[in-house]
C-alpha cells in the first residue's frame, strides 16, 4: 500500500473528526480494484478499494479528489445510515463542507479499455449481426439458445469474430 494513499485516507478522517467533533471508525484500505472505477467504498464492510493503475497515472488528483470522494461515502454512511442517496445532499455536504472540494460524481481519468472479442451470430433476417460476448458464446456452446426478436429463429454462430 503506497504510503501517500494511507496518509491521505487518515488525513480525510481526521478532517471529518475535527469538523463533526466525533470519532469515525477507520476502514480497511485495499488496492484491489481494476477497470474503469477509480475507487469504491463498501459501506457495510467499512472498506475502501482503489484502482492502483489510475492511482499511478493520476496521483495528484487521485489523492486530492478520489480519496476524499470515497472517504466521504463512509463518513456519510456512519453519520446518516443506509437511507441516503450515494451522491445525495449528505455526501455533497461532506465534500463541500469538510473537504472543500467539488462534489464530482465521476472522475475524468483516461481509462485504457482492453480489447474485447465479439462472436458474430446470425439469423435468416437481412442484415442480422448479433455480436455475442465470450460469456454468452460459452453459454450457447453449453446448449443455451437465443432467438431473433423479429423472426423468432435460433441465432447461429457464423464462425466470424471481431475485436473491438
- pLDDT, tens digit, 9 for 90 and up, residues 107-123: 999 888 778 899 999 99
104 within 8 A of 69, measured Cβ to Cβ? yes
What is the enclosing helix (H) or strand (E) of 49? Answer: strand 47-50
Please provide the average confidence, as pLDDT, over all residues in the chain.
Answer: 95
Domain assignment present for residue 107? The answer is: no
Average pLDDT over residues 4-16: 98
**Residue 44 annotated in ligand binding:** no
Q: Is the pTM of this model over 0.85?
A: no
Domain assignment present for residue 110? The answer is: no
- In this structure, the number of other CB atoms found within 10 A of the CB of residue 3 comes to 7
Domain assignment present for residue 77? The answer is: yes
User: 45, 60, 70, 100: which one is catalytic?
Assistant: 70
13 within 8 A of 24, measured Cβ to Cβ? yes
**Residue 73 annotated in ligand binding:** yes
Domain assignment present for residue 132? The answer is: yes
User: What whole-number distance in Å separates Cα of residue 100 and Cα of residue 75?
Assistant: 15
- pLDDT, tens digit, 9 for 90 and up, residues 42-75: 999 999 999 999 999 999 999 999 999 999 999 9
Strands 39-42 and 156-163: what pairing?
unpaired
Distance, CA of 29 to chain centre: 16
- Dihedral Cα 47, 9, 40, 32, nearest 10 deg: -70
Catalytic status, residue 70: yes
Domain assignment present for residue 60? The answer is: yes
Beta-bridge mates of residue 120: 131
Last residue of a domain, one of 99, 125, 154: 99
Q: Which has the closest alpha carbon to 6: 94, 67, 74, 90?
A: 67
> Is the same domain home to 91 and 48?
yes
Give the gyration radius of the chain's Cα atoms.
Answer: 22
Q: What's the domain range around 145? A: 117-163
- pLDDT, tens digit, 9 for 90 and up, residues 74-105: 999 999 999 999 999 999 999 999 999 999 99
Amino acid at each position: 500500500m503506497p504510503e501517500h494513499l494511507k496518509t491521505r485516507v487518515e488525513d480525510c478522517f481526521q478532517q471529518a473528526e475535527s469538523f463533526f467533533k466525533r470519532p469515525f471508525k477507520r476502514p480497511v484500505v485495499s488496492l484491489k480494484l481494476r477497470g474503469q472505477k477509480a475507487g469504491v467504498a463498501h459501506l457495510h464492510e467499512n472498506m475502501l478499494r482503489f484502482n492502483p493503475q489510475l492511482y499511478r497515472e493520476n496521483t495528484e488528483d487521485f489523492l486530492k479528489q478520489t480519496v476524499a470522494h470515497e472517504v466521504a461515502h463512509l463518513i456519510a454512511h456512519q453519520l446518516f445510515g443506509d437511507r441516503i442517496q450515494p451522491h445525495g445532499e449528505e455526501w455533497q455536504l461532506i465534500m463541500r463542507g469538510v473537504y472543500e472540494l467539488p462534489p464530482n460524481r465521476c472522475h475524468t481519468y483516461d481509462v485504457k479499455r482492453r480489447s474485447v472479442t465479439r462472436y458474430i451470430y446470425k439469423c435468416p433476417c437481412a442484415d442480422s449481426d448479433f455480436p455475442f460476448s465470450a460469456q454468452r458464446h460459452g453459454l450457447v456452446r453449453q446448449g443455451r439458445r437465443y432467438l431473433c426478436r423479429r423472426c423468432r429463429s435460433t441465432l447461429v454462430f457464423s464462425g466470424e469474430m471481431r475485436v473491438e
